[in-house]
Amino acid sequence: MTRTRLTAEERHDQLIGAALTAFTTGGYAGTTTDQVARLAGVSQPYVIRLFGTKQQLFIATLEHAAYRIEQRFRAAAAIQADLSSIGDAYDELLTERELITVLLHGFAAGADPAIGPVVRACFGRLVETVRELTGAGAEEIRDFFAHGMLLTVLGAMNVVGRDAVAPEKWMSDLVGSLDLPKARQDPGGPA
């Protein structure tokens, strides 16, 4: 069984992908480095070797998620540079769950002295990016992220998104008037 050897950089990227999936489900403390390793088909000590510590792996994952979200925002703004366009991009990210939800886990772990600065920087960068791309005022930016956070939390709770539970009335009140991503649920296509 000749294993395909990857370059350290390729493996690094692949591991961050696996970490994204793993941390999305379990959060920082609730995820083991072994889970990440298995997802990537690699031994657990090798994960540690590449990233030093579990904490550094989590931080790298957060930064990667924030970077990719930023990219999606920029792509959306390249087509139409306003908040509604970026809002659509956000909705798409929400159905994919991982990038947004892992960031929420970062927020929740923001009290950690090592993770806090990273997650604040990531979030601040996103705020600046949206303002730069749209030229929107402070109030608009605030409202944009406010509704984004609501949707993010509802997504983490499985109130909206791919694995959403059966809706109740209070849910539709919260989500009803937003152009929510429920209508865009994956109709069975490939991941």
Partner whose footprint covers residue 175, from its own copies, DNA, none (CB < 5 to 8 Å by kind) = its own copies
Question: Can residue 25 be called a binding residue for DNA (CB under 7 A)?
Answer: no
- Position among 38, 39, 44, 116 found at the interface with DNA (CB under 7 A): 44
Q: Distance (Å, rounded) from C-alpha 31 to C-alpha 49?
A: 17
Both structure tokens of 142: 């605030």
Question: Can residue 6 be called a binding residue for DNA (CB under 7 A)?
Answer: yes
- Map the footprint of its own copies across residues 147-176, applying CB under 8 A: 147, 149-150, 152-153, 156-159, 165, 168, 170-171, 173-176
Selected range binding its own copies among 11-19, 34-42, 50-58, 145-153, rule: CB under 8 A: 145-153
Q: Distance (Å, rounded) from C-alpha 75 to C-alpha 4?
A: 34
- Position among 39, 50, 81, 104 found at the interface with its own copies (CB under 8 A): 104
- Map the footprint of its own copies across residues 1-60, applying CB under 8 A: 25-30
Binding residues vs DNA (CB under 7 A): 2-11, 31-34, 41-46, 48-49, 53-55
Binding residues vs its own copies (CB under 8 A): 25-30, 104-105, 107-111, 116, 119-120, 123-124, 127-128, 131, 138-139, 141-143, 145-147, 149-150, 152-153, 156-159, 165, 168, 170-171, 173-178
